[in-house]
Amino acid sequence: MTTRESSFGASRVPVAVLGATGAVGQAFVRLLASHPWFELVEVAASERSAGKPYAEAVTWIGDDPIPPAIAGLTVQLSSPAHIRSPVVFSALDAAAAGEAEPAFAKSDRIVLTNARNFRMEPDVPLVIAEVNPDHLDILATQRKQRGWPGAIVANGNCAVIVAAMALAPVQQRYGVRRVFISTMQAVSGAGYPGVASMDILGNVIPYIKDEEPKVEAELCKFLGLRESDHIQHAAMVVSAHTSRVPVQHGHTVVMSVEMTRRADAAEVEAHLGNWRGAPEACRLPSSPERPLAVFKEPDRPQPRRDVDLGKGMTVSVGRVRRDTLFDVRLVAMGHNIIRGAAGASVLNAELMASTGRIPKP
Amino acid sequence: MTTRESSFGASRVPVAVLGATGAVGQAFVRLLASHPWFELVEVAASERSAGKPYAEAVTWIGDDPIPPAIAGLTVQLSSPAHIRSPVVFSALDAAAAGEAEPAFAKSDRIVLTNARNFRMEPDVPLVIAEVNPDHLDILATQRKQRGWPGAIVANGNCAVIVAAMALAPVQQRYGVRRVFISTMQAVSGAGYPGVASMDILGNVIPYIKDEEPKVEAELCKFLGLRESDHIQHAAMVVSAHTSRVPVQHGHTVVMSVEMTRRADAAEVEAHLGNWRGAPEACRLPSSPERPLAVFKEPDRPQPRRDVDLGKGMTVSVGRVRRDTLFDVRLVAMGHNIIRGAAGASVLNAELMASTGRIPKP
Amino acid sequence: MTTRESSFGASRVPVAVLGATGAVGQAFVRLLASHPWFELVEVAASERSAGKPYAEAVTWIGDDPIPPAIAGLTVQLSSPAHIRSPVVFSALDAAAAGEAEPAFAKSDRIVLTNARNFRMEPDVPLVIAEVNPDHLDILATQRKQRGWPGAIVANGNCAVIVAAMALAPVQQRYGVRRVFISTMQAVSGAGYPGVASMDILGNVIPYIKDEEPKVEAELCKFLGLRESDHIQHAAMVVSAHTSRVPVQHGHTVVMSVEMTRRADAAEVEAHLGNWRGAPEACRLPSSPERPLAVFKEPDRPQPRRDVDLGKGMTVSVGRVRRDTLFDVRLVAMGHNIIRGAAGASVLNAELMASTGRIPKP
Amino acid sequence: MTTRESSFGASRVPVAVLGATGAVGQAFVRLLASHPWFELVEVAASERSAGKPYAEAVTWIGDDPIPPAIAGLTVQLSSPAHIRSPVVFSALDAAAAGEAEPAFAKSDRIVLTNARNFRMEPDVPLVIAEVNPDHLDILATQRKQRGWPGAIVANGNCAVIVAAMALAPVQQRYGVRRVFISTMQAVSGAGYPGVASMDILGNVIPYIKDEEPKVEAELCKFLGLRESDHIQHAAMVVSAHTSRVPVQHGHTVVMSVEMTRRADAAEVEAHLGNWRGAPEACRLPSSPERPLAVFKEPDRPQPRRDVDLGKGMTVSVGRVRRDTLFDVRLVAMGHNIIRGAAGASVLNAELMASTGRIPKP
């Protein structure tokens, strides 16, 4: 705790949430409502909501009440003219993010975004704090090339983050050459109202629009190397099948992995169990005790049972075993809204704050 | 209809169902209750049920009533001493099948079994009527080697059958070298009561006991070549991940396939759409109009929507597309209880009857 | 069949469906696509859809394909200026029905509507064909009072229809004084996309907006008496609790009933089992073999198992037993989209045709 | 905390759990594993489990790990000869409880039982700590009549407890004359494995064996008056309809209530919101901050969203509104395993300890 509190003094950095009424926006509100470093002082949404108190504008889908300090905030428009905070968390949908986020960066704000628009831009860091914190260094290039005093930092697609967390230790020690991925994704990944109950009750939809190319591309960027002015994508080939299942929260991902350097499943499992992620990502306010939890039980992880591990920030891994085709296969599962979206962005912000990239107030 | 009726005269072959009270046993009862060629005259189960009327011994899980002609049959013990029918359909569990099924074969009965015990025996044909009807020819070897006047003919694991139906046309035209499989399997695949609702409601269980080795082995036998006295397993490598999802009926299987001879996805899709299966399996009483249905919609097939196609005997295929890693990837889905179990055995029996392997009464 | 076919000659009455793209609209399309008496020649919807081929305008939620004859119809606007058919089935939502339906009636069309707007108007018959076919007689009053050459005939709320079918025989023989009702309603009752999966997966929502007053009022009208120029509502008091449950189709309704004339549960159960409904509603094209099916099994009816009885037109009743508080209690269940909506309207139209209220072409 | 800790000194009362491997038994283990007053030192089960370490004997259904201090305990037989603890919590099923529980009472143990066997015995207190703590006084009669040095104290059926918590304030202030109850009960109420997924996925089962008479009888005892040597059951009439729905935890109960003294819904709602239960049940270790939470939102409570309120010990109430037939109607929902079973018994034990009925160690 000492570490955490010492990062900032008594006062906190004022922050805003853009797209605060959607499913991920609400998760941001929940995570930031009583954050030790950040003070959520502004919420923004579309014209339809602007001007209303947050509690009135939002269809709150959480089980807990709306945080009282936020409920009364007047919803602003998602543009830099209406938002004063130096740090903004963006849960905007792609249609709005494309214009709004650069405007904020141009206007000297740090944008931590969950939107997909800029993830694959060469000068935009796509970061999981425990996996590739050094990718933040390309912000220098971003600023130089774009002339922004501010910045855009992206987290990734919710299914990719789960996969990347489980593969990062493998990539770091053995190298990953080829990966087969098949996902079983929770309905909350599609936002709210999102998937119609008539479509998914007692059913599987073996298709999520535009998801597979995202998984295949983003994974290579997450696991890539930072060069002086760009990210060298990992030279791995990824094949992703993505499906929707009737689960509330928690994306389950099964993978077969071909490694550059051979190792048996037991060794890989032990390595995953020992992995702690980048040191700079440990002991931040949102850091889970362990980024990965490795299960020995043959039938775990399971989304309904394990999704809340580490307050939703731990990715659970199980069934690490020999593959008949590649080297090892395994199951990974993580909370798509927390670890795969809002929590990932908040952790990135904490990483930026603790490394001096977000100035103290 | 003319074709079908001409195979047999006015009278039908008397048949029995072993393990008639379980989920697959009940499916056999439903499929055979008014069969044009077979007359279900005996039902057998364990000692606990023997002696009771079927309607009393069974916990009927169907939505329809128990077929009236069967409801009153007295349940027999599952041994050749208690069963007179020359043809028996076995839904016995593995613990009972190992002893009972050879006893029936020894006692001059044709056993069509859904049990796993003998599937991988070199002299036991593992048959999908549309895929490898010629494998029945190794019954000659079986009879010679084992000295049985009768025979055992197996159908396969319910998930494998779905995969094998979709892969058979690919294997036949292009050759299959490597397959990555990830399944999302319905709860009815675990029998009744089977999966506890507390385990699967809103959840995924990424593990089915003993399932993956079965998928990997049986697929190679289904797609193998009949040699004079044995089956030459297909020289493909299969990696299977098997998961349970909260779906009632219908196993969904996603696959990435590496082919010996390259072809693009559109060509493979057209080939799958044109495939009709082995001619001798067409126009049997249980033959679906088409063994495969190929969907163009991006989000199909789906188990709840498509499982009953062809009265549960059609396997639905969709999303045939280029794979980033192998050649093509696709989704296949089929009814695990009908096409993947009882219906498959009944179709095998019809094939045997129409090819003279089951004598007319 | 003779009866049915004799009602009309070789040609059929041209009909239209208003609001044809929604969930109930699609059910109308399915039921009318190959109807022996009616020919579906026009589909109408909102401005957003008008001008497009039906197959393009609709998000088809059925498991079956769009009927080919309808797929290519150009969607019209839902106004009498754009629709020529003398009979229109309305699945319009309340916002549109209020204006459109009277316009059609004014324009000499018979409107069979599923909308709630006019159900409780004293001169609008609210009809279940088997229950209160004589209520159609107040159309004379409707025409006189409103000066419409056409007419509006309503079916009721989907939950009420299930309850009314089960209570009608009780009311007819014993009189009903008080009824407690608690419903467990399927998600399809809320249309498509309707209930968000995030709201209902593994959950109960003990509230359906505006539903309870509808149940309480409409039930008294359904079971009321036709007087010369109005419907005398039944003098019963109804208390309804309505809840949404994660079920696809089929509303389950539990009821406790106080009767004017006492009878024990066995007698009431027998009476329900013998009830066939009004003779004029039998043997119409959409009439189920039996309007009520009475189950003796203690745990039936169940929506997933019994919803399709009578092609969705049969209401299932079970657990008829003594009540501790009133006289008898029971469970009723029926298909909310078929018996509770589109099928009810189609049956009403058949009743009107067979009784000369819809002229032959 | 001072209050709590002052009840006992540094050492805790040793306790045992009988039937510790079932669903409710596991809940006892979880609640008692780190209890401030009680030390779980013994776990007992049937012969099949006895002698094994608990972790091996149990199919742990919780999402959390087995408490480490309990995992290694050797499972004992559920008889006083094998158990030394003076206080035993019984999750035995009815078949075992009938013999075992009196044996423990005879052997000077306090038995807090979840089994149904003795609930309706006139000299056995059926207690909800906040509702009828004074019913414990009839233990004097129990001891006198039965000659037991120990005692049996029962909690009730899980659905009844939810209803009784919501009705107790109404009974206390206004008197309850008649209640119509319809329940929608979670699958965990049937234990593990309990309800088969094939039965309940996407379904409602409008029947729970033997449940309705329990609800009707126990409610009158809970809300009855303690006389000098017996409990005068409340003179109310209850009609219960009980159904199973696909929900994991949380029984939802809708009720219509006729009161002796009239009051409008707003007044009743306010009274429910102000109710704190019996003072002696407040501030015990397992007491929730509030025994009842009253929701103003029209669509609450909902089991998946609200079941964990007060760590599962709070009953949620909503939709308090005028009834058309009786006086008020409302929805109540509570955690069937915690508030409705194990937590209720633990709270009863705490109440007994704090009132001197369980001696300090």
| Closest to A290 in 3D by CA, of A179, A159, A166 | A166
| Closest to C302 in 3D by CA, of D195, A249, A157 | D195
Judge whether B230 is closer than 8 Å to chain C, CB to CB. no
CA–CA gap between residue A248 and residue C196 (Å, rounded): 11
Which one of the listed residues A135, A158, A249, A335 is annotated catalytic?
A: A158
CA–CA gap between residue C123 and residue C229 (Å, rounded): 8
Give Cα separations from A262 to A265, A273, A321, D55, D95 (angstroms): 10, 18, 13, 36, 56
| Closest to B269 in 3D by CA, of B251, B288, B253, B292 | B292
| Closest to A167 in 3D by CA, of A339, A332, A2 | A332
CA–CA gap between residue B260 and residue B179 (Å, rounded): 12
- For A283, counting Cβ atoms within 10 Å of its Cβ (0-12 exposed, 13-18 middle, 19+ buried), the class is middle
Q: Among partner residues D184, D239, D323, which is closest to C204 by beta-carbon distance?
A: D184
Contact state of D248 with B196 under an 8 Å Cβ cutoff: no
pLDDT (tens place) for every residue of chain B, 361 residues total: 334 444 455 689 999 999 999 999 999 999 999 999 999 999 999 999 999 999 999 999 878 899 999 999 999 999 999 999 999 999 999 999 999 999 999 999 999 999 999 999 999 999 999 999 999 999 999 999 999 999 999 999 999 999 999 999 999 999 999 999 999 999 999 999 999 999 999 999 999 999 999 999 999 999 999 998 889 999 999 999 999 999 999 999 999 999 999 999 999 999 999 999 999 999 999 999 999 999 999 999 999 999 999 999 999 999 999 999 999 999 999 999 999 999 999 999 999 999 999 988 7
* Cβ proximity of B35 and B61 under 8 Å: no
Q: Number of CB pairs < 8 Å for C and D?
A: 129
Q: How would DSSP label each residue in C297-339?
A: STT---HHHHTTGGGGTPEEEEEEEE-SSSSEEEEEEE-TTII
CA–CA gap between residue A97 and residue A109 (Å, rounded): 14
Contact state of C248 with A201 under an 8 Å Cβ cutoff: yes
Quick one: pLDDT band at residue D3, thresholds 50, 70, 90? very low
CA–CA gap between residue D196 and residue B195 (Å, rounded): 6
Q: Which are the contacts of B116, defined by CB distance < 8 A and separation ≥ 6? A: B94, B97, B157, B214
Which one of the listed residues C158, C220, C249, C335 is annotated catalytic?
A: C158
Residues of chain B in contact with residue A252, where contact means CB-CB under 8 angstroms, are 204, 206, 243
Backbone phi and psi for residue D237, each to the nearest 5 degrees, phi listed first: -110, 135
Q: What is the average pLDDT score of chain A?
A: 95
Separation in Å, CA of B274 to nearest CA in chain C: 20
Separation in Å, CA of A296 to nearest CA in chain B: 13
If one compares B10 and D40, the residue with the highest pLDDT of the two is D40
DSSP-derived secondary structure letter, D65: P
CA–CA gap between residue D335 and residue D250 (Å, rounded): 4
**HSE value, Cβ hemisphere, 13 Å, CA-based, for D231:** 28
> What mean pLDDT comes out for the span D110-132?
97
Full set of structural domains in chain B with CATH: 2-156+342-354 (3.40.50.720), 158-335 (3.30.360.10)
Judge whether D198 is closer than 8 Å to chain A, CB to CB. no
CA–CA gap between residue B277 and residue B131 (Å, rounded): 6
CA–CA gap between residue D22 and residue D247 (Å, rounded): 19
Backbone phi and psi for residue A125, each to the nearest 5 degrees, phi listed first: -70, 130
Which residue in chain D has the smallest CA separation from C208?
D299
| Closest to D86 in 3D by CA, of D287, D355, D353 | D353
**HSE value, Cβ hemisphere, 13 Å, CA-based, for D145:** 14
pLDDT one-digit tens code per residue, A38-88: 999 999 999 999 999 999 999 998 788 999 999 999 999 999 999 999 999
Contact state of C198 with A198 under an 8 Å Cβ cutoff: no
Among this protein's residues, is D220 annotated catalytic? Answer: no
C225-226 and C231-232 as β-strands: parallel, antiparallel, unpaired?
Answer: antiparallel
* Cβ proximity of A240 and A216 under 8 Å: yes
Separation in Å, CA of C100 to nearest CA in chain D: 31
| Closest to B91 in 3D by CA, of B126, B55, B116 | B116
Residues of chain D in contact with residue C299, where contact means CB-CB under 8 angstroms, are 205-207
Longest dimension (CA), chain C: 59
* Cβ proximity of A57 and A75 under 8 Å: yes
pLDDT one-digit tens code per residue, B129-172: 999 999 999 999 999 999 999 999 999 999 999 999 999 999 99
Amino acid at D53: P
Both structure tokens of D184: 């929608």
Contact state of B63 with C248 under an 8 Å Cβ cutoff: no
Among this protein's residues, is D282 annotated catalytic? Answer: no
Both structure tokens of B255: 């696959």
Where would I find the H helices in C183-282? 197-200, 211-222, 265-274
Q: Among partner residues C61, C197, C247, which is closest to A195 by beta-carbon distance?
A: C197
The backbone region for D356, taken as left when phi is positive above 0, alpha when psi lies in -120 to 50, beta otherwise, is left
Judge whether A246 is closer than 8 Å to chain C, CB to CB. yes
> What mean pLDDT comes out for the span A94-122?
97
Query: What is the set of active-site residues of B?
Result: 158, 251
Q: What is the average pLDDT score of chain D?
A: 95
pLDDT one-digit tens code per residue, C271-326: 999 999 999 999 999 999 999 999 999 999 999 999 999 999 999 999 999 999 99
* ipTM of predicted complex: 0.95
Handedness of CA B33, B34, B35, B37 (dihedral sign): positive
Q: Among partner residues D63, D202, D305, which is closest to A63 by beta-carbon distance?
A: D305
Separation in Å, CA of A285 to nearest CA in chain D: 23
Judge whether A201 is closer than 8 Å to chain C, CB to CB. yes
Contact state of B306 with C248 under an 8 Å Cβ cutoff: no
Beta partners for residue D88, in sequence order: D16, D111
Angle of CA points C4, C10, C11, to nearest 5°:
105
* Cβ proximity of D28 and D89 under 8 Å: yes
pLDDT one-digit tens code per residue, B308-325: 999 999 999 999 999 999
CA–CA gap between residue A123 and residue A140 (Å, rounded): 9
Beta partners for residue C184, in sequence order: C243, C252
Helices B211-222, B158-173: axis angle to 10 degrees equals 40
Residues of chain D in contact with residue C326, where contact means CB-CB under 8 angstroms, are 239
The beta-strand segments (E) located in chain D are: 13-18, 38-45, 76-77, 87-90, 110-113, 151-154, 176-185, 225-226, 231-232, 237-244, 251-259, 292-294, 315-322, 328-334
| Closest to C62 in 3D by CA, of C21, C27, C20 | C27
Which residue in chain B has the smallest CA separation from A182?
B182
CA–CA gap between residue D217 and residue D240 (Å, rounded): 10
Judge whether D23 is closer than 8 Å to chain B, CB to CB. yes
* Cβ proximity of A218 and A155 under 8 Å: no
CA–CA gap between residue B354 and residue B360 (Å, rounded): 10
Contact state of A241 with B254 under an 8 Å Cβ cutoff: yes
